[in-house]
Amino acid sequence: MITKEKIAEWFKHLQNDICTTLEEADGSGQFIPDTWNRPGGGGGTSRVLNNGSVIEKGGVNFSAVHGETPAKILTALNLDSAEFYATGVSIVLHPHNPFVPIIHMNVRYFEMSNGVYWFGGGIDLTPHYVDRADAQYFHATLKEVCDRFDPSYYPTYKKWADDYFYIKHRQETRGIGGIFFDRLTAQKGKQKTDIFAFVQAVGQVFAPTYTYFMNKNKDLSFEDQHKQWQYLRRGRYVEFNLVLDKGTKFGLDTDGRTESILMSLPPLATWQYNHTPPSDSTEAKTLSHLKKDINWIDF
């Protein structure tokens, strides 16, 4: 039987495995653990890496929190009053080199004392410069994981990511998307063990996927104009996370640890008023690709 304790324990091991793999790929950076307790129940460990050789700032968070479900959450999710338990791993990595992409992953489990439960998660990529080969590799990798469980997963969750990671006030996607899913529960022949196995596969593909991009792009040369563009794209990342991201809102609304919730923010970002890159520039080309429903595998 899959219990919330067993799920949380697996997530804890996933955090450790990912941190070890990323440290080896970075070469010098180390994730510093910061264990915390939530006053309302539970806690977690945030592991943060600063100023590594490849990763400028990265966080790999594990949490397992529980307690009375806040009224705001009950209303937002249309749930009956009951105690909740939520556990998961959340990751955001910001690299030094603007040709290495930002990446985000989250795998999570939510349960209530009245029997309601679901899994959620996903992985999405935010390149500062969209690269055709990188986009194809990323989406082909995610499709392979999804297809092992259900051929409908990739197109469904890819579309979900396009719609979710969309900056409405900019009318652009945050990056090239990936997969996103939420509130998955046993149905249509799928058991709880099947869904958990899928979530595990998504978690396990993260480290080899990102270390591929680290090794491939970390030594590419860049100039100051590329760094300035990187800072502007980080600004878009901040806008999404603070204005639109439901995970950020959930964490704050359940009295989560602020430092861990805002770990996703980059160390440095900029905003320029009405910045428009030259029409023939690589920056403008990247902007032209920040749209929904692009077939990245055949891009």
* Structure confidence at residue 79 (pLDDT): 79
Rounded CA gap, 278 and 163, in Å? 28
* Whether 243 contacts 236, CB under 8 Å: no
Q: What band does 106 get if pLDDT is binned at 50, 70 and 90?
A: very high
Kindly state whether residue 83 falls inside one of the protein's structural domains. Answer: yes
Q: What is the pLDDT of residues 69-86, one digit of tens each?
A: 877 777 877 778 889 999
* Structure confidence at residue 241 (pLDDT): 94
Kindly state whether residue 293 falls inside one of the protein's structural domains. Answer: no
Mean pLDDT of 129-143: 98
What pTM was computed for the model? 0.95
Kindly state whether residue 296 falls inside one of the protein's structural domains. Answer: no
* Structure confidence at residue 276 (pLDDT): 94
Mean pLDDT of 91-120: 96
* Residue 69, phi then psi, degrees to nearest 5: -75, 125
Structural domain of residue 75, as residue ranges?
4-288
Kindly state whether residue 209 falls inside one of the protein's structural domains. Answer: yes
Q: What is the pLDDT of residues 188-198, one digit of tens each?
A: 789 999 999 99
Distance in angstroms between the alpha carbons of the first and the last residue of the chain: 43
Is residue 104 part of the annotated active site? The answer reads: yes
Q: Which residue has the higher pLDDT, 176 or 115?
A: 176
Number of domains making up the chain: 1
Q: What band does 104 get if pLDDT is binned at 50, 70 and 90?
A: very high
Kindly state whether residue 123 falls inside one of the protein's structural domains. Answer: yes
Mean pLDDT of 107-132: 95
Q: What is the CATH classification number for the domain harbouring 238?
A: 3.40.1500.10
Is the pLDDT reported for residue 247 higher than 90? no
Is the pLDDT reported for residue 255 higher than 80? no
Annotated active-site residue in 66, 94, 104, 128: 104
Q: What is the mean pLDDT of the chain?
A: 95
